[in-house]
C-alpha cells in the first residue's frame, strides 16, 4: 500500500505539544497512483521515491507541513472552521495569498488586533516560530516550495502558480530583502584553526577534538552532519602507510545523493591526527567520532551535530576568541577563504568542498580579491 505522507502528517501535525516534533522520520509520500497500476507496480513506485528522496528533504517536508498546518488552523476564521481542519488539495488561492502576506512584514509593528499577529503569537507559543519579526525570504521560499511539492505529489496544480500570487511573492521578496546574515560570523582560517588546535591536549577528548577539527577543515570544510555521520567503514587507510593518504567516502551530503558523493582525501597532519585518534580510541567499526565520559573514556555513542557546535565553541573560547566569533560553518567558509588567500584554483577547492554552484563558492574568493585589490588603496 502507498503511504500518503502529506495526508497522514497533516492530520497529526497540530496535535503535538509545544516544541515537539514527530518521533519518527516522515514516510516518503508518493503521488496518487493511476488506477491501472498493479500492487507490484505501486510498490516499485514507492521504492523509487524512497531511494530518490534525500532524508534531509523528508525532514524539511515534515517541519514545513507541521508549520503550514498549524498556521492555517490558527489563521482560519470561525466560519472556516471545518475547512481548516485539514489542508485542502488543491489549496485555495486566498489562503495561499494570506500565507504570503502574513510572512512578508514585521508583525511586532502590527496592531494588537491584527489577525496575522494573533496567529504568529500562537505559533510562538507552540514553539513553531521564534519571533514576530519578518521571516527571512529564504525561509518563506522553502515553505512555499514544500507546499508546492505537496501539490505535485498529488498531481495537482499549486495555487502559488497563479499570476496574482506569483507577483505578490515577488513583491514580498523585494520588500523584505536584506543582506543575508553569514552562517558564521567569521571564517575559521588556518590561523584561527591553529590557535584552536593548540588548545587540544593529550587527553582522549583533546585527541578527538584535534582529529575532528582537522578533518572537518582539511577535507573541504565539512558540515556538522557530515562529520558526525562518518563511520569507520567510510574511511580507507590502505594508502596511509605508503603515501600518508586517507580516503573518505561520505554516504551523502547536502548537495549529493546516496552513492553519488565522490571520494575525498585527507593527507598530512590531518591524516596523522585521525589515525592517532582511531588508534588510541581503539575504533575498529561503527561511528568514527564518539562521546567521551567525564573519566576520559570513549563511549560507543556517536557525537551529535550539536556536539560539534559545542566543540567549536569551546576550542575558540580556550584560544581566546570572543563568544560568537564563529560557528561550525566557519570550518567550511574558512577552508574556502584560505584556499583563496593561498591562490588555490576555485575548481580545486570546490572538488573538496562539494559546492554545487560556482556562484556560492565564488563569494569567498571575491571577498579576498576585493580586500587585496590595489584600487582600494587609492586614497592612501
DSSP letters along 273-294, please? HHHHHHHHHT--SSBSSEEE-T
> What pLDDT sits at residue 38?
78
Mean pLDDT is lowest, of 2-6, 134-138, 320-324, for 2-6
User: Regarding beta strands 235-236 and 298-302, do their DSSP bridges make them parallel or antiparallel, or are they unpaired?
Assistant: unpaired
> What pLDDT sits at residue 361?
80
Judged against a pLDDT cut of 80, whether residue 22 lies above it is answered with no
> What pLDDT sits at residue 199?
96
Q: Whose grid coordinates read 596511509?
A: 240
Q: Whose grid coordinates read 557546535?
A: 309
For the chain, strand residue ranges (E) read 235-236, 245-248, 264-267, 290-292, 298-302
Q: Tell me the per-residue pLDDT of 229-257, one tens digit each, with 9 for 90 and over.
A: 999 999 999 999 999 999 998 876 665 55
CA angle 280, 281, 282 (to 5 degrees): 90
Q: Whose grid coordinates read 564563529?
A: 326
Q: Which of 182, 252, 258 is nearest to 222 (CA)?
A: 252
* Non-local CB neighbours of 20 within 8 Å, separated by 6+ positions: 127
Confidence of residue 50 (pLDDT cuts 50, 70, 90): low
CA–CA distance, 37 with 12 (Å, rounded to integer): 29
288 is written with which cell numbers?
Answer: 568514527
Q: Tell me the per-residue pLDDT of 285-329, one tens digit each, with 9 for 90 and over.
A: 999 999 999 888 999 999 998 999 999 999 999 999 999 999 999
The chain-wide mean pLDDT, for the chain, equals 83
Q: What is the mean pLDDT of residues 342-363?
A: 85
- SS3 at position 354: coil
> What pLDDT sits at residue 256?
59
Judged against a pLDDT cut of 50, whether residue 346 lies above it is answered with yes
DSSP at 319: T
- Considering only residues 27 and 214, tell me which one the structure prediction assigns the higher pLDDT: 214
Confidence of residue 380 (pLDDT cuts 50, 70, 90): low
Domain spans in the chain, listed from the N-terminal domain onward = 5-175, 190-373
Q: What are phi and psi of 180, to 5 degrees?
A: -65, 135
User: Regarding beta strands 264-267 and 245-248, do their DSSP bridges make them parallel or antiparallel, or are they unpaired?
Assistant: antiparallel
- Considering only residues 313 and 12, tell me which one the structure prediction assigns the higher pLDDT: 313
CB-count burial class (<10 Å; 0-12, 13-18, 19+) for 323: exposed
Q: What is the mean pLDDT of residues 184-199?
A: 93
Contact 147, 91 (CB under 8 A): yes
Contact 41, 4 (CB under 8 A): no
Q: Tell me the per-residue pLDDT of 199-215, one tens digit each, with 9 for 90 and over.
A: 999 999 999 999 999 99
Architecture, CATH, for domain 190-373: Orthogonal Bundle (1.10)
Is 0.85 surpassed by the pTM of this model? Answer: no
Q: Tell me the per-residue pLDDT of 79-134, one tens digit each, with 9 for 90 and over.
A: 455 555 567 888 899 999 999 999 998 898 889 999 999 999 999 999 999 999 88
Judged against a pLDDT cut of 60, whether residue 15 lies above it is answered with no
Confidence of residue 35 (pLDDT cuts 50, 70, 90): low
Q: What is the mean pLDDT of residues 183-193?
A: 90
Q: Is the dihedral of CA 339, 345, 350, 352 positive or negative?
A: negative
Contact 87, 159 (CB under 8 A): no
- Considering only residues 45 and 85, tell me which one the structure prediction assigns the higher pLDDT: 45
Q: Whose grid coordinates read 565520559?
A: 293
Amino acid at each position: 500500500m502507498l503511504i500518503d505522507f502529506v495526508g497522514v502528517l497533516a492530520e497529526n501535525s497540530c496535535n503535538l505539544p509545544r516544541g515537539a516534533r514527530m518521533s519518527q522520520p516522515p514516510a516518503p509520500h508518493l503521488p496518487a497512483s493511476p488506477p491501472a497500476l498493479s500492487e507490484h507496480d505501486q510498490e516499485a513506485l514507492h521504492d523509487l521515491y524512497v531511494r530518490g528522496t534525500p532524508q534531509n528533504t523528508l525532514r524539511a517536508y515534515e517541519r514545513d507541513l507541521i508549520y503550514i498546518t498549524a498556521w492555517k488552523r490558527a489563521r482560519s476564521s470561525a466560519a472556516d472552521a471545518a475547512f481548516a481542519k485539514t489542508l485542502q488539495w488543491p489549496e485555495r488561492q486566498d489562503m495561499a495569498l494570506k500565507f504570503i502576506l502574513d510572512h512578508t512584514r514585521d508583525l511586532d509593528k502590527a496592531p494588537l488586533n491584527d489577525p496575522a499577529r494573533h496567529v504568529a503569537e500562537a505559533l510562538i507559543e507552540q514553539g513553531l516560530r521564534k519571533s514576530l519579526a519578518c521571516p527571512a525570504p529564504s525561509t518563506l521560499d522553502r515553505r512555499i516550495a514544500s507546499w508546492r511539492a505537496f501539490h505535485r505529489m498529488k498531481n495537482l496544480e499549486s495555487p502559488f502558480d497563479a499570476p496574482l500570487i506569483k507577483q505578490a511573492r515577488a513583491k514580498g521578496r523585494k520588500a523584505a530583502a536584506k543582506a543575508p546574515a553569514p552562517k558564521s560570523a567569521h571564517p575559521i582560517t588556518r590561523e584561527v584553526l591553529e590557535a584552536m588546535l593548540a588548545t587540544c591536549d593529550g587527553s582522549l577528548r583533546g585527541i578527538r577534538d584535534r582529529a575532528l577539527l582537522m578533518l572537518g577543515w582539511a577535507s573541504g570544510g565539512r558540515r556538522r552532519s557530515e562529520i558526525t555521520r562518518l563511520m569507520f567503514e567510510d574511511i580507507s587507510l590502505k594508502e596511509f602507510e605508503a603515501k600518508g593518504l586517507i580516503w573518505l567516502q561520505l554516504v551523502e551530503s547536502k548537495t549529493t545523493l546516496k552513492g553519488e558523493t565522490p571520494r575525498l582525501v585527507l593527507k598530512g597532519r590531518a591524516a596523522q591526527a585521525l589515525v592517532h585518534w582511531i588508534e588510541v580510541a581503539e575504533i575498529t567499526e561503527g561511528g568514527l567520532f564518539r562521546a567521551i565520559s567525564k573519566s576520559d573514556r570513549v563511549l560507543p555513542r556517536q557525537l551529535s551535530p550539536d556536539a560539534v557546535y559545542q566543540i567549536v565553541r569551546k576550542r575558540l573560547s580556550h584560544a581566546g576568541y570572543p563568544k560568537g566569533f564563529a560557528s561550525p560553518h566557519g570550518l567550511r567558509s574558512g577552508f574556502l577563504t584560505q584556499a583563496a588567500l593561498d591562490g588555490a584554483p576555485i575548481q580545486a577547492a570546490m572538488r573538496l568542498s562539494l559546492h554545487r554552484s560556482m556562484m556560492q563558492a565564488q563569494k569567498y574568493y571575491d571577498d579576498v580579491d576585493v580586500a587585496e585589490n590595489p584600487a582600494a588603496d587609492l586614497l592612501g
